[in-house]
């Protein structure tokens, strides 16, 4: 074997060892990126515990930055992993921004990947009553069920919104350089529906 090949083989062995050590970490990261189907919870006998467990699974989406950035705790959206929106835009009376800083000035009907600007025809900030940032998943659960805080909607309408709304759906096609919400909107929708059908119990935390 030539002297030049031996270091190459040693380098390859190091790479394999590194990949092996990283595998469990990557498997854990991957688990956060997928959503279990409602059937995965069939083994939980107590209906309230089963319902709450399905909401906890759906919480991987609800508490993902793609949703939280538009459901902020205050009047300014966040971006990226949750840092304040640059520039310092404000919600305004209609959730569409103030003066020249209207959302649609920059956010078009579709993602503009060349400029790294996300877009959707309905782009605007969620009302303050629908703030999810800095809330526990249990608090978010109580809030989305409560017509006084969810825009006057029935549980069925909220399920429909999560499963079908196009602006919610943007979270799975967020444009280049942005991590999509875990799973698919359809998988998320079926979890939320199974949660509602099983009594819409909330996690205690
Ligand atoms: C002056 C231009 C401008 C205005 C006005 C503006 N935005 Fe943005 N916004 C951006 C840009 C650019 C980004 C992308 C930043 C990045 O990720 O690099 C962004 C990102 C975002 C994100 C982050 C999406 C994500 O999850 O990554 C949200 C949410 C958002 N804007 C909401 C709003 C809302 C709501 C309004 C109106 C109240 C608004 N923006 C007004 C330029 C603007
Ligand atoms: C671009 C901003 C934006 C993004 C991104 C966004 N939302 Fe919203 N959301 C809104 C606005 C605006 C409303 C209120 C208007 C309406 O009811 O249609 C709202 C309302 C809701 C409601 C209704 C009631 C409530 O209690 O909050 C639900 C449920 C909801 N969003 C779920 C989601 C989920 C799940 C995601 C991520 C997968 C998400 N949203 C991402 C802007 C956004």
129 assigned to some structural domain:
yes
Residue indicated by tokens 């909607």: 153
Does a cis peptide bond (omega within 30 degrees of 0) precede residue 87? Answer: yes
193 assigned to some structural domain:
yes
Give the residue, out of 70, 103, 107, 173, with the most ligand 1 atoms within 8 A of its beta carbon, to mutate for a pocket test.
Answer: 107
Q: What is the pLDDT of residues 136-166, one digit of tens each?
A: 999 999 999 999 999 999 999 999 999 999 9
Q: Give the number of whichever ligand sits closest to the CA of residue 115.
A: 1
41 assigned to some structural domain:
yes
Rounded (5°) CA angle 100-67-90: 20
58 assigned to some structural domain:
yes
Output the six-digit token pair for 133. 């940032």
Of 120 and 9, the one with more pLDDT = 120
113 assigned to some structural domain:
no
Q: How far apart are CA 173 and CA 120, in angstroms?
A: 10
Structure confidence at residue 42 as a pLDDT band (50, 70, 90): very high
Note the pTM of the prediction, 2 decimals.
Answer: 0.90
Q: How far apart are CA 199 and CA 204, in angstroms?
A: 15
Q: How far apart are CA 155 and CA 200, in angstroms?
A: 9
Q: How far apart are CA 72 and CA 96, in angstroms?
A: 14
Average pLDDT of the chain to the nearest whole number: 90
Mean of pLDDT values over 30-34: 80
149 assigned to some structural domain:
yes
- Residue pair 37/188 in contact by the 8 Å Cβ criterion: no
106 assigned to some structural domain:
no
**Lowest mean per-residue pLDDT among 2-11, 52-61, 178-187, 191-200:** 2-11
Domain count, the chain: 1
DSSP 75-116: SS-EETTTEEPSS-----TTSSEETTEEHHHH--SS-BGGGT
Output the six-digit token pair for 121. 């025809």
Buried b (16+ CB within 10 A) or exposed e, 18-50: eeeeeeeeeeeeeeeeebbebeebeeeeeeeeb
Mean of pLDDT values over 24-31: 61
Range of the domain at 175: 32-97+125-197
185 assigned to some structural domain:
yes
Helices marked H in the chain — which ranges? Answer: 5-31, 47-62, 65-68, 103-106, 137-145, 155-164, 166-169, 185-197
Task: Verify whether ligand 1 is closer than 6 Å to residue 71 (CB atom).
Answer: no
Task: Verify whether ligand 1 is closer than 6 Å to residue 87 (CB atom).
Answer: yes
Q: What is the pLDDT of residue 20?
A: 53
Q: What is the pLDDT of residues 160-172, one digit of tens each?
A: 999 999 999 999 9
Find the 70 Cα to ligand 1 centroid distance in Å.
9
Find the 54 Cα to ligand 1 centroid distance in Å.
31
Q: What is the pLDDT of residue 59?
A: 98
Taking 80 as the threshold, does the pLDDT of residue 74 lie above it?
yes
Task: Verify whether ligand 1 is closer than 6 Å to residue 126 (CB atom).
Answer: no
Structure confidence at residue 17 as a pLDDT band (50, 70, 90): low
Find the 172 Cα to ligand 1 centroid distance in Å.
17
């Amino acid at each position: 074997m030539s002297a030049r090949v031996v270091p190459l083989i040693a380098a390859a062995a190091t790479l394999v060892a590194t990949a092996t050590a990283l595998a469990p970490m990557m498997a854990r990261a991957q688990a956060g990126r997928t959503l279990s189907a409602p059937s995965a919870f069939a083994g939980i006998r107590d209906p309230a515990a089963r319902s709450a467990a399905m909401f906890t699974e759906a919480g991987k989406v609800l508490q993902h930055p793609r949703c939280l950035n538009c459901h902020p705790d205050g009047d300014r959206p966040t971006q990226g992993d949750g840092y304040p929106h640059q520039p310092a835009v404000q919600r305004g009376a209609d959730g569409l921004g103030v003066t020249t800083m209207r959302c649609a000035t920059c956010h078009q009907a579709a993602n503009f990947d060349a400029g790294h600007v996300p877009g959707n025809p309905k782009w605007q900030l969620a009302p303050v009553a629908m703030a999810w940032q800095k809330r526990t998943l249990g608090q978010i659960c109580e809030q989305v069920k409560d017509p006084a805080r969810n825009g006057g909607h029935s549980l069925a309408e909220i399920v429909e919104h999560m499963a079908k709304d196009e602006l919610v759906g943007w979270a799975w096609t967020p444009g280049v350089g942005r991590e999509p919400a875990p799973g698919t909107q359809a998988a998320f929708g079926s979890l939320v529906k199974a949660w509602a059908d099983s009594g819409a119990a909330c996690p205690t935390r």
